[in-house]
Chains A and B, each alone.
Chain A
């Protein structure tokens, strides 16, 4: 069974601060997805990283996939209250034919004005 450990579980910061969320595993994934879920809504895909070492940027959000494709990080620069939400990482099994994703337990981010 593949597991994804997300840290921290909770994060409360002030507007303007930077933060990093980590997603780690002992397993290799063919790709890793990051989702954000706002209260009362379903998760929405932010980005998919596929290649080891890949870095993707989405405005103030920077996503990195580890060289060995076992870990990933999400860095937010100058956080804003609109970034508040539950951030989930999800790994796709290496091999590709399996339809399942392995989800981390999430990081609940609160950005205070």
Chain B
């Protein structure tokens, strides 16, 4: 079974801090994604990566950056955290083959910015 592991289940940070969310997958998947999930807004794509060192903006990239130095690891960075970035963050991975491939999700990081 594919396992996608997010480093923290809960995280509390202060406004202005630089925040790192880490995600690791163990199935050699080419594609990795970061979403945020908010009540009434559903899942919104922040960034995705289709190869090491490759990244592409999603629908809401403002205030975020990403890093993919190794195939199995995809990091989401909040450059200067703000209260409107309080949310549930979900990481996912898929194998190559286009968007028909199922996405495998981690259990999420619930991030609170105070």
Pair B48/A105 contact, Cβ less than 8 Å: no
On chain A, the number of residues with a Cβ less than 8 Å from chain B's Cβ atoms is 25
- Residues in chain A near residue B98, CB distance under 8 A: 30, 92, 96-99
Q: How extensive is the interface on chain B, given as a class? A: 20 to 34
A87 to B31, CA, bound (A): 23
Tell yes or no: A100 within 8 A of B by CB: yes
Q: Which residue of A lies closest to B103 (CB)?
A: A101
Of A43, A98, A99, A104, which is within 8 A of B94 by CB?
A: A99
Measured between beta carbons, the chain B residues less than 8 angstroms from A50 are 100
A63 at the interface (CB under 8 A from B): no
CB of B45 within 8 Å of the partner chain: yes
**What are 30 A-B interface contacts by the 8 Å CB criterion?**
A30-B98, A31-B99, A33-B102, A33-B103, A40-B9, A40-B107, A41-B108, A42-B92, A42-B105, A42-B106, A42-B108, A43-B43, A43-B103, A43-B105, A45-B102, A48-B100, A50-B100, A92-B98, A92-B100, A96-B99, A97-B98, A98-B99, A99-B31, A99-B50, A99-B98, A99-B99, A101-B99, A103-B44, A105-B40, A106-B42
Given contacts A96-B99, A105-B42, 5 further A-B contacts (CB under 8 A): A43-B105, A99-B31, A99-B99, A100-B58, A106-B42
